[in-house]
Structure 1
Amino acid sequence: MITPTADQIAKTKKSIENYYISWISYPYKREGVAPFYQMHEPGESIRGTVMIFHGFSAKPMQMFLVGDYLFRNGFNIYQIPLAGHAFIPPDSYWPQVDLKPEFRDPLRDEVRKDAVLDLFLSNRDNKSQGQFQRLTTFQKMALIGRIIKMAPQLLDMALAIERPNDPDFDRYFTSSHMNYLTDAQERLAELDAMPGPIYTLGLSVGGAVALGLAASRPDRIKKVVAYAPLLEVSNEINERYINLTGPLDLREFSWEQNVSFPVGCLTAANRFGAFVRSDKNREALEKIPTFLVLTENEDAADLKTNQRFFDQLGGKDKGHHYYLYPASDLVPHPMVDPTEVSQGMTNRFWKSLYQETFRFLTTGEVDADNMSNLEEAPDLPPMPTYS
């Protein structure tokens, strides 16, 4: 435990509030995506400060309950919008991978010579969220095949995205995927005046950011909790789909936020996940205790990639922990929010998830038997009542 001084708290609040002021004064801000903090008063001892990153296309409030639980039990909390997500339109602000114009424009023209593809792309562009439907795996496969038939050179470009360190990537593409890291580093700098350990916690792309930030600052980040981190999108069909259609500016919708975004934003999230998995970052993370929470009902992050990443970190012998919700527990990818419905599922075990997150941050241990327990563990702080 450490007791920050009034001056240290004031300096930290001022740094965060300067970021908030820049958001609130910006004409293209996205409503409800403000950074916010919960900090204990001067003279109160704290366990450290937790930086919390929400999932792709979501808002910081997605993570409010877990943050509030940790705050009530001794942590300072900083809830942070993912890079660019505090602003709209996503086309201008969210990290994305784009084909350079000299490649993009002729490719789009070539693909739209196919009357079927032209109609499909036009329909996707003009749909409102109420009319929008996500593509099935079979539809994605059919779309991939038809696009490659019309523009076979696009496959080589997609492979340049998928292969690590492919020299052709910079030839074909511009990418802002590293904004996920640089933005998180700027938020970390706002905590320079705050003493004590810093922890990172995130969901999905936010989980990848939590890991990537820790790998870049092992001197400052002491532990990481990553819920279903998006280190690679689930299955090869989805990956090929986003890497082929992203450069064509096909659009997707966020179900929760009524925001349409280019598929290239998903391409950037996937590429950032590959960066986090790089040897350099993995070696840095071997020395930072991590807690990965996964689910067999995964529909966004590739489960096998996450499991392999955990094994490469060295497992429990190196201070790392891992829990996999079985399919029968009906826990979806957005597992942190008990009110969020995905694939018809919500996480009924959220209380034990929060408690074990607290246990890990304070002791470095995890009680796997408690993770699928509907009752609260008596040896951990109880959950407050949330209406």
Structure 2
Amino acid sequence: MTTFAHWNVRPLDVSVRGNLLVNIRTVNLRAGAKKNSRSSFSSSSSSFCSSHSLQRYAKFGSSSASRCSKLHRGGVRPIGQEQQQQQQQQQKHWSSEEEVVMAVAMAGCAAAAAHAAPLKLEKVVLTKEHLSLATEAMDKFIATIQDHPDQREDATPYYLLHKQGEYVYGTVLMFHGFSATTGQMALLAQYLFENGFNVYQPALRGHYFNKPAKYWPSVHMKPGLKETVQEKLMADPQFSAIINNFKSVVQLTTEQINITRERVSLDYPELDQAINDDNFTKAFYTWFESQHLDYLHEAEARLQEVNALPGPVFTVGLSMGGAVSLALAALHPDKIAKTAIFSPLLKVKDQKIREFCQLAGQFGAQECWWYPEMPFPLSCFVAVDVFSRFVSSKNLIDVLAKKIPTLAVFTEIDDVADVTIGQKFFADLCSIAGNEGPPHLSSTYTTAEKVPHPMVNPTEVSQCTTNRYWNALYQETFRFLTQGTIVAENLHKLSQDPDLPQVHPL
């Protein structure tokens, strides 16, 4: 009997449809088995879910080793657990951007010698061993989040896996935007799962937890320097008033920015130079220490957990998640087949605000507007900007351009990411790739189309609007992942392409 379970979600209304093979322990189902009347859902859209995955759906909010399974003469040859453990032991933990640059160059050489994944995918079969190894690895990590005292509501990682014997295109690793939760990408994850992909969605580094100052990557002024600077600058009544009364970058005025910068420039010209170091070079690192590579560490660890699943791996991300998707693909081109990103955060939009955050974040200023119940230090926002610039380095761009097919969708009214920088990034990919390289496809929603920065989530209101074109966006993402191409004009239509899997209404 074909059934589906319907979970109580806020505000999304997400259903997992098809035959469910479920290990249920503590899942609160709002409705029991119901007949699935949608003819477009076949048994191939059924799921293999642990209780971790189901519990995740009950709480949705708004807000370098080779793969463990290889194609072998048209079939799948699973690699044993002993080899998988050897691969996991080989995983690197990059402590500096210099180490990453070297690793990217080596990864590019390795990928050049490897057989490139075809642009048009053929499905591969899931075996019991695939599922056993992958679920064991993912469950082990998910349990550490669920048992954590600082667990953040709606931020639990989850996976959607098809059943043993079913055929899949591969596995999508999905990454949400900065400060958001895994619920932000839930509808796209569900659509891709229902149409032939396994999906694993972790959170960004530290975003599983509700104490940003403790867990989210940030930028800190070096010990010794901070105490001296803070004592002198905060003694100025006008300067300290701006810092102490800060609530949100939304309320920040040009006058406040200018006052703080002038004060720093007068007393600490070298610090002012570091803050003005737009490319985060020696001047910046003379004064600051950054944890931005922790975002990459997190993504690499989660990539290891899906090693046992057959077929290629794809990265899909929104905003900061898009930057993470690109970095992971550039460092592991032997594992990542394609990457699709939306509103990629390759540079924070307003330079003056970025510079103010870099300074004020060191003295405890927090952003209170986005999540009033969970303010986060401005120093966390700075780490995002440092990471975005790291992704734009020449070494990463070269590997992406020559090895990884990419899809990027921008919007002109983006209030977070600098869309001009993003468009230039992809123009560079196309230029370097030339006629012989993989496709790099992009499209931009115009100002008149009013598509906000969080374009993947049709329920998320931003800039007083939502994305009306989300159905077509999902369909073209599916086309890109399965065929390596898109029909760009479709992205700008409210109607769906009848030749692609249909997106179900909210």
Shorter-chain TM-score tier? over 0.9
- In structure 2, relative to structure 1, the CA distance for the partners of 1:21 and 1:103 (3 Å cut) is same
The one-letter code matched in structure 2 to 1:368 is: A
Any conservation in 2 of the 1:223–1:361 contact (CA below 8 Å)?
Answer: yes
Counterpart-to-counterpart distance in 2, 1:138 and 1:241: 10
Q: Does 1:24 align with 2:146?
A: yes
The secondary structure found in structure 1 opposite 2:150 is coil
Q: Does 1:292 align with 2:414?
A: no
- In structure 2, relative to structure 1, the CA distance for the partners of 1:155 and 1:265 (3 Å cut) is same
1:218-242 Cα shifts (integer Å, max 9, x gaps): 0000000111111111132233222
Match of 1:165 in 2: 281
Q: Does 1:330 align with 2:450?
A: yes
The one-letter code matched in structure 1 to 2:210 is: I
The one-letter code matched in structure 1 to 2:167 is: S
Divergent runs of 4+, >4 A: none
Counterpart-to-counterpart distance in 2, 1:174 and 1:156: 15
Match of 1:265 in 2: 380
Any conservation in 1 of the 2:439–2:484 contact (CA below 8 Å)?
Answer: yes
The one-letter code matched in structure 1 to 2:391 is: V
Match of 1:104 in 2: 226
The secondary structure found in structure 2 opposite 1:336 is coil
Offset at residue 305 of structure 1 (A) = 1.0
1:1-37 Cα shifts (integer Å, max 9, x gaps): 0012011112101111111111111222222211001
1:277-335 Cα shifts (integer Å, max 9, x gaps): 11111111012000011000011111111111101111685401001000000011111
Structure 1, unmatched stretches of 5+, are none
Offset at residue 113 of structure 1 (A) = 1.9
1:79-123 Cα shifts (integer Å, max 9, x gaps): 110011112311111011100121112222222222122223222
- In structure 2, relative to structure 1, the CA distance for the partners of 1:257 and 1:44 (3 Å cut) is farther
Scaled by the length of structure 1, what TM-score is found?
A: 0.93
Offset at residue 133 of structure 1 (A) = 7.0
Q: What is the aligned counterpart of 2:398 among 271, 283, 287?
A: 283
Q: What is the aligned counterpart of 2:155 among 33, 43, 59?
A: 33
- In structure 2, relative to structure 1, the CA distance for the partners of 1:88 and 1:369 (3 Å cut) is same
Identity of paired residues, percent? 38
1:223-264 Cα shifts (integer Å, max 9, x gaps): 001111111111322332223323333211362573211111
1:188-226 Cα shifts (integer Å, max 9, x gaps): 000111110000000111000000000010000000011
Structure 2, unmatched stretches of 5+, are 1-122
Q: What is the aligned counterpart of 1:302 among 418, 428, 436?
A: 418
Counterpart-to-counterpart distance in 1, 2:331 and 2:250: 35
Mapping of 1:60-139 within 5 angstroms?
Answer: 60-124=182-246, 134-136=250-252, 138-139=254-255
Larger radius of gyration: 2
- In structure 2, relative to structure 1, the CA distance for the partners of 1:258 and 1:150 (3 Å cut) is farther
Counterpart-to-counterpart distance in 2, 1:140 and 1:379: 54
Q: What is the aligned counterpart of 1:345 among 465, 471, 482?
A: 465
Match of 2:126 in 1: 4
Aligned length in residues: 378
Match of 1:156 in 2: 273
Counterpart-to-counterpart distance in 1, 2:465 and 2:365: 28
Offset at residue 337 of structure 1 (A) = 0.6
The one-letter code matched in structure 1 to 2:469 is: F
